[in-house]
Structure 1
Amino acid sequence: MKSKLRISKMAVLAVALSVVAAPHSAAQTYPTKPVRMIVASGAGGGLDFVARLVGPKLGENLGQTVVVDNRAGASGSIAAELAAHATPDGYTLILLSASLVVYGMVNKTRYDLFRDFAPVSQVAAAPYILTVNPALPVKSVKELIAHAKSNPSKLNYPSTGNASLAHLATEFFAISTGIELVHVPYKGVGAALPDMLSGRIHMSMLSVGSVFSHVRSQKLRALAIATATRAKVAPELPTMIEAGVPEFTVTQWHGLLAPRGTPRPVIERLHREIGKAVQQPEIASRFAVDGTEGIGSSPAEFAAHLRSERDRWAKVIKLANIRTD
Structure 2
Amino acid sequence: MNSALHRTLAAAVAAALCATAGLALAQAPQPYPTKAVTMIVPFPPAGGADSLARILAVHLGNSWKQTVLVENRPGAAGHIGASYVARSAPDGYTLMMSSTASLTKENASQFAPVALVSASPYVVTVNPRLGVKNIRELVAKAKAEPGKLTFGSSGEGSASHLTVELFKQVADVEMMHVPYKGTGQAVNDLLAGTIDVMFAPGQTVMPHVKSGKLVALAVTSAKRAKATPELPTIADSGVPGYAAVGWFGLLAPAATPKAVIAKLGADVSRTLDDPAVERTMLEAGAEPAEGTPEQFGRFIQEELTKWGELEQAMARKVGAKPR
The TM-score range, normalised by the shorter chain, is: 0.7 to 0.9
Aligned 8 A contact 1:175 1:320 in 2: no
Q: Which runs of 5+ in 1 are unaligned?
A: 1-13, 106-111
Question: Is 1:189 equivalent to 2:203 in the alignment?
Answer: no
Question: Is 1:217 equivalent to 2:211 in the alignment?
Answer: yes
> Which piece of structure 1 moves more, 80-89 or 167-176?
167-176
The Cα of 1:265 is off from its aligned counterpart by 1.2
Q: Secondary structure of the residue that 2:114 maps to in structure 1?
A: strand
Higher RCO (CA 8 Å, separation ≥ 6 residues): 1
The correspondence of residues 100-115 of structure 1 with structure 2, limited to 5 A, is 100-101=102-103, 104-105=104-105, 112-115=106-109
Question: Is 1:228 equivalent to 2:230 in the alignment?
Answer: no
Match of 1:76 among 71, 78, 102: 78
Match of 2:118 among 124, 131, 135: 124
Could you say which residue in structure 2 is the equivalent of 1:307?
A: 301
Q: Cα RMSD (Å) of the superposition?
A: 2.0
Could you say which residue in structure 1 is the equivalent of 2:3?
A: none
- CA change 1:235–1:33 in 2 (3 A) is closer
2-structure distance, mates of 1:119, 1:235 = 30
Could you say which residue in structure 2 is the equivalent of 1:174?
A: 168
Could you say which residue in structure 2 is the equivalent of 1:288?
A: 282
Amino acid at match of 2:217: L
Could you say which residue in structure 2 is the equivalent of 1:54?
A: 56
Q: Secondary structure of the residue that 1:144 maps to in structure 2?
A: helix
Deviations 1:137-159 (A, max 9, x none): 21111111111122222111111
Q: TM-score under structure 1 normalisation?
A: 0.86
Amino acid at match of 1:185: P
The Cα of 1:214 is off from its aligned counterpart by 1.3
The Cα of 1:235 is off from its aligned counterpart by 2.9
The correspondence of residues 1-325 of structure 1 with structure 2, limited to 5 A, is 25-26=28-29, 28-101=30-103, 104-105=104-105, 112-321=106-315
The Cα of 1:300 is off from its aligned counterpart by 0.5
Question: How high is the sequence identity, in percent, across the aligned residues?
Answer: 40
Determine which structure has more spread, i.e. the larger CA radius of gyration. Answer: 2
The Cα of 1:260 is off from its aligned counterpart by 1.5
Deviations 1:235-291 (A, max 9, x none): 332210111112211111111111111111111111111112112222110111233
- The ranges of structure 1 where at least 4 consecutive aligned residues each deviate by more than 6 angstroms after the TM superposition are none
2-structure distance, mates of 1:177, 1:272 = 41
* Number of residue pairs aligned between Structure 1 and Structure 2: 295
Q: Secondary structure of the residue that 2:305 maps to in structure 1?
A: helix
1-structure distance, mates of 2:34, 2:224 = 45
Q: Which runs of 5+ in 2 are unaligned?
A: 1-19, 319-323
Amino acid at match of 2:75: G
Aligned 8 A contact 2:98 2:248 in 1: yes
Aligned 8 A contact 2:75 2:181 in 1: yes
Aligned 8 A contact 1:228 1:241 in 2: yes
Q: Secondary structure of the residue that 2:260 maps to in structure 1?
A: helix
Aligned 8 A contact 2:218 2:233 in 1: yes
1-structure distance, mates of 2:154, 2:227 = 24
Q: Secondary structure of the residue that 1:139 maps to in structure 2?
A: coil
Q: TM-score under structure 2 normalisation?
A: 0.86
> Which piece of structure 1 moves more, 87-96 or 204-213?
204-213
